[in-house]
Structures are given as C-alpha cells and as structure tokens.
Amino acid sequence: MSASSVAVEVPATSANLGSGFDSLGVALDWTLRVRFTLHDDPQPAPVDPIALMAGRAVLTLYNMAAIAPPKGLEVTVEPDGPPVGRGLGLSAAARVAGVIAANALTGSDYNRETLLPLAVQLERHADNAVPAMFGALQVVVEHDLDGVLHLGLDTPEELRFVLLVPDLTMATEETRQRLPQRVSRNHAVHNIGRAALLIGALNERRYDLLQAATEDVLHQPARATIFEPMYPIFQAARDAGAHGAYLSGGGPSIAALATDHFEEIAGAMREAAASHGIDAVTRVCAARAEGAVLLPDEA
C-alpha cells in the first residue's frame, strides 16, 4: 500500500578512513531526517540543496518503477542535522532518503540491494551511499559484473569518531581533481596494506596499530594543498590521545579514532584549527549499526 507522507532517517557517513580510499565508509550516529509529502497541486522546487537532491531521487525511482510522478512533492529537511559540504556524506544521505521514501510512497517492495544501485548511480560515491543505506562499517567494491559488492563489519563498541567540523566547505569534485591520475606501485602497496591492517586492527582491538593503519598517500596529500591545517590537526588529535586521525571523505571534516579522552581530543583539534584561523565545532560520534529507516508516522 502506498503512503502520502513518509519520513526517513539516514546516518551521516565518514568515508575512506584514511587508507581505504573509495573502499571504506562508516555510518555515524548523527542523522539526517527528511519528510516527503505528496500533494494534489504542484509544489515549488526546494531551495535547500539536500531537499532538492532527495526530491530528485524520489522522482528517479518513480521513473524506474514506471509510475507516473506525483503532481506535487514537498520535501522538508529537519533542522540541526549534519552540515552539508563537510565530508560527512550528506548528499549520499539525501539520495538514500529519497529512494527509501519513494519505495514507500509508490507502494513498491524493492529490497535494499535493488535500491542500492540507484542510490549509487545518483550519488557516485558508493563508500558513502552503502553505509548510509545499510549502516555499520562497510567495505565497498564496485565490480564490473556484479555492481556494488559490500560487506558490513561491526566496530568495537568502545570506539568513537571525534569529529572536527570546520566552518567552511570543500567541494568533493573540486578536491578530486587534485588527485593524481596515476600512482606508483609503492604507493598502491602502501595503501593496500594499511587498509587491510585497519580492518584487522579494528577486529582485534589493536588500537596501537591505528595510526599506521590510517596513513594514506593516495588522496590526503593532494587535499592538504587545499586544507593546509589537516596534518597539524591530525597531530594535535594524536598528541591528545587519539589512536589515529584522517580526513573524512573529501573534507574538510577530520575524524579522530579514540577509545577515551574524547573531550581532550576534541579541544586539541579545535585549538589546532583556531591556530590556523579556522573556526570549527566538534562532535563525538559512535558507529551506527543501522542504516536508513522509515520513521513512524508520529515522528
């Protein structure tokens, strides 16, 4: 049965985790909430970019299902959610919200594995879209024959992601243009080994290995040319007790992996950012096991 109004909650996500470029992403317990309401009359296009992306995702699923689009669609984003343009996967969250909502609004019964390629097609960053859809820490591979392959992994319950969220944006596509088109074998081996080490270290709670496991030579050096305080902030986080730190997605948010001293780490990161003239807020997040969910009617 179709619905006339649905609300969806989707986790923000942190991609790459340093060494796992375009291959690792984790869902965070900081969520985006979006409500979708059908109307009998045309509605003005949303001004909010997240609402606009979510609405377009809704219409894309209508088209995929060969169902006439609604005459009017109202998309409302709940305030005080994660910020857009900070490397926290908000565009992925918007698109996942849209396809999940459209599945309910049309009365369709597509399972999530069927919906995932549509979300990835719209988003183009599977390492954000997959954890937004399914939750947890996800290993993501885009395969020529099988589409998007993914494996969800638990993270230690004591582990936290201490986020520094600067008061500036970095366009993902702009930062990707800075990345090298070719890499040496040594650089490839560097990241392959560390990404594997990262998964093993989390599985075995070998927190002493996380500094090395999050080291990257494929994307962070290029992005540091745009966000110059990145490495000093990493060091400040580690000096305050973090096990490792990395640029979240395309930045500028930075995530520090920690099991204690959360507020000290957050404060040290803010101070390091401020010393470079950057205002920022911090938030301590856990990994979220659950991905996108439809909220009850009263939410």
The pLDDT value given to residue 135: 98
HEC secondary structure over 78-121 = CCCCCCCCCCCCHHHHHHHHHHHHHHHHCCCCCCHHHHHHHHHH
The pLDDT value given to residue 3: 65
Q: Are 145 and 129 in contact (CB under 8 A)?
A: no
Burial of 221 (0-12, 13-18, 19+ CB in 10 A): middle
The predicted model gives 161-180 an average pLDDT of: 83
pLDDT above 70 as % of the chain? 96
The pLDDT value given to residue 205: 98
Is pLDDT of 132 > 70?
yes
pLDDT in tens, 30-62: 999 999 999 999 999 888 999 999 999 999 999
Is pLDDT of 1 > 60?
no
Q: Lowest-confidence range among 76-90, 124-138, 159-173, 226-240?
A: 159-173
Q: What b-and-e string marks burial along 98-107, b requiring 16 or more CB atoms within 10 Å of the CB? A: bbbbbbbbbe
Is residue 193 helix, strand or coil? Answer: helix
Is pLDDT of 211 > 60?
yes
Quickly state the pLDDT bin for 172 (edges 50, 70, 90): low
Q: Lowest-confidence range among 123-127, 242-246, 263-267?
A: 123-127
CA nearest to 150, candidates 136, 165, 166: 136
d(CA 292, CA 76): 17
Q: Are 20 and 124 in contact (CB under 8 A)?
A: no
Average pLDDT, the chain: 94
Is pLDDT of 203 > 80?
yes
Q: How far is CA 193 from the centre of its chain?
A: 23
